[in-house]
């Protein structure tokens, strides 16, 4: 049911890793993206999340324009609105405003800005870099997901009013042991 959830999961995708397997995607056309908005997902503290909450209303042209300033592609914007945004209870305009505010609340560490040089960190180091750049971010409020040995996403748990919060059950680091590669921009 729309609006019935416990917290948000702000998911930031490391674009260079995505582009390793999706070279023809819109966001991979030499724009030099580092972290991009994958989504702002309503979550349940006990684990899981609502999805595709009725009524499924299409984005207006104005909402689509706003969304294209936040998401790296129209296809991702539409998917995220239909699957996750509809469950925010905010309507499309409110959801996009919340996504924009959430993006603005998280400072990407200097060490993880887009670069033409490949880098390596442990998942724990990536978490610590985010926590150091974001005073008030809780120890259990940020996680890292990998795709094989590469950094795929950083996920930040936010309260319903978009302050830093604690992640719920099932939201944890998902990387194999050892160094996490941070591919360079293309």
- Cβ contact 154:130 at 8 Å: yes
Q: What angle do CA 94, 6, 156 make, to 5 degrees?
A: 75
CB 164 within 8 A of CB 158: yes
**Nearest 5°: CA angle at 12, between 144 and 148?**
45
Catalytic residue check, 79: no
Q: How far apart are CA 156 and CA 166, in angstroms?
A: 9
Is residue 38 part of the annotated active site? The answer reads yes
Burial category of 140 from C-beta neighbours within 10 Å (exposed 0-12, middle 13-18, buried 19 and up): middle
Catalytic residue among 63, 84, 150, 153: 84
Which of these is catalytic: 22, 63, 79, 80?
A: 80
Of 38, 63, 150, 153, the catalytic one is 38
Active site residue 84: yes
* Residues noted as catalytic: 38, 80, 84
């Amino acid at each position: 049911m729309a609006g019935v959830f416990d917290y948000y999961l702000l998911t930031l995708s490391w674009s260079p890793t995505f582009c390793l397997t999706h070279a023809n995607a819109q966001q991979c056309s030499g724009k030099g993206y580092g972290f991009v908005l994958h989504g702002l997902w309503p979550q349940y503290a006990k684990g899981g999340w609502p999805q595709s909450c009725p009524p499924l209303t299409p984005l207006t042209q104005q909402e689509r324009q706003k969304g294209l300033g936040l998401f790296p592609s129209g296809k991702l914007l539409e998917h995220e609105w239909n699957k996750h945004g509809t469950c925010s209870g905010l309507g499309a305009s409110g959801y996009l405003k919340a996504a924009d505010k959430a993006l603005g609340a998280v400072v990407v560490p200097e060490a993880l800005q887009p670069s033409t040089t490949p880098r390596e960190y442990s998942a724990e180091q990536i978490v610590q870099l985010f926590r150091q750049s974001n005073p008030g971010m809780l120890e259990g409020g940020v996680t890292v997901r990998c795709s094989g040995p590469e950094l795929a996403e950083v996920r930040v748990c936010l309260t319903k009013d978009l302050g830093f919060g604690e992640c719920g059950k099932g939201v944890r680091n998902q990387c194999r042991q050892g160094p996490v590669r941070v591919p360079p921009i293309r």
